[in-house]
Structure 1
Amino acid sequence: MRWKLLALDLDGTLLDQNGDVSEENAASVREAHASGTHVVLVSGRHHIRIMPILDRLGIHVPIISTNGCEIWSASGRLLDRRVLPWKDVETVHLLAFQHHVHYRAYCAEGVFDSEQRNHLAQMDYSWLKVLLKSGDDSSLSVAYERLLATGRLELTVYGSLGEPRQIDVQPKGTGKADALSKLCRMLDIRREEVVAIGDDRNDIGMLRFAGLGIAMANAPEDVRAAADEIAPHYLDSGVGRTIARLMRSATA
Structure 2
Amino acid sequence: MIKLIATDMDGTWLTDAKTYDVDLFLREFKIMQERDIKFVVSSGNQYENLITRFPEVADQIYFVAENGALVAKGKQVIHTDSLSDNDLATIVQITRQYDEKAIASGLLSAYVLDSTSPEYIEELRKYYYKITPVADFANLDDQIFKVTFDVAEAKMPQMLAELKRNYPNLGFVSGSAGSIDMSTKGMNKAVGLQYLSKKLGINFREMVAFGDSGNDVGMLKYVGRSYATGTALPSAKNAADRIIGSSNDSAVQKEIWRLLN
Fold match (TM-score > 0.5): yes
> In structure 1, what is the equivalent of residue 166 of structure 2?
149
Equivalent pair of 1:100/1:139 in contact (CA under 8 Å): no
Equivalent pair of 2:213/2:236 in contact (CA under 8 Å): yes
Of residues 25-34 and 229-238 in structure 1, the stretch that sits farther from structure 2 once superposed is 25-34
Of residues 109-118 and 13-22 in structure 1, the stretch that sits farther from structure 2 once superposed is 109-118
Q: Deviations over 1:11-45 (max 9, x none)?
A: 11111222122133443244323432111110111
The one-letter code of the counterpart of 2:166 is A
Whether 1:48 aligns to 2:48 is yes
Which secondary structure does the structure 1 equivalent of 2:179 belong to?
strand
Q: For residues 39 and 88 of structure 1, do their structure 2 counterparts lie closer, same or farther at Cα, with a shift above 3 Å needed?
A: same
CA distance in 2, matches of 1:186, 1:180: 10
Matches of residues 109-128 of structure 1 in structure 2 within 5 Å?
Answer: 109-114=108-113, 115=116, 116-117=133-134, 119-128=136-145
Which secondary structure does the structure 2 equivalent of 1:16 belong to?
coil
Which secondary structure does the structure 2 equivalent of 1:10 belong to?
coil
Matches of residues 126-165 of structure 1 in structure 2 within 5 Å?
Answer: 126-135=143-152, 141=158, 145-146=162-163, 148-157=165-174, 165=178
> In structure 1, what is the equivalent of residue 198 of structure 2?
185
> In structure 2, what is the equivalent of residue 106 of structure 1?
105
Equivalent pair of 1:101/1:140 in contact (CA under 8 Å): no
In the superposition, the TM-score normalised over structure 2's length comes to 0.83
The one-letter code of the counterpart of 1:66 is E
Of residues 3-12 and 48-57 in structure 1, the stretch that sits farther from structure 2 once superposed is 48-57
CA distance in 2, matches of 1:236, 1:69: 30
CA distance in 2, matches of 1:125, 1:156: 23
Whether 1:38 aligns to 2:38 is yes
> In structure 2, what is the equivalent of residue 6 of structure 1?
5
Structure 1 residue 59, shift from structure 2 partner: 5.7
Give 5+ residue unaligned stretches, structure 2.
117-132
> In structure 2, what is the equivalent of residue 68 of structure 1?
68
Q: For residues 140 and 214 of structure 1, do their structure 2 counterparts lie closer, same or farther at Cα, with a shift above 3 Å needed?
A: closer
Identity of aligned residues (%): 24
CA distance in 2, matches of 1:136, 1:12: 15
Q: For residues 231 and 180 of structure 1, do their structure 2 counterparts lie closer, same or farther at Cα, with a shift above 3 Å needed?
A: same
Equivalent pair of 1:14/1:25 in contact (CA under 8 Å): no
> In structure 2, what is the equivalent of residue 168 of structure 1?
181
Q: Deviations over 1:226-248 (max 9, x none)?
A: 11122221111112210111122
Of residues 188-197 and 11-20 in structure 1, the stretch that sits farther from structure 2 once superposed is 11-20
Pairwise CA RMSD of aligned residues? 2.4
CA distance in 2, matches of 1:136, 1:35: 42
Counterpart pick for 2:232 among 197, 219, 244: 219
Equivalent pair of 1:29/1:240 in contact (CA under 8 Å): no
CA distance in 2, matches of 1:146, 1:240: 35
Q: For residues 148 and 73 of structure 1, do their structure 2 counterparts lie closer, same or farther at Cα, with a shift above 3 Å needed?
A: farther
Equivalent pair of 2:160/2:173 in contact (CA under 8 Å): no
Structure 1 residue 122, shift from structure 2 partner: 2.7
CA distance in 1, matches of 2:208, 2:235: 19
The one-letter code of the counterpart of 1:179 is G
Structure 1 residue 225, shift from structure 2 partner: 2.1
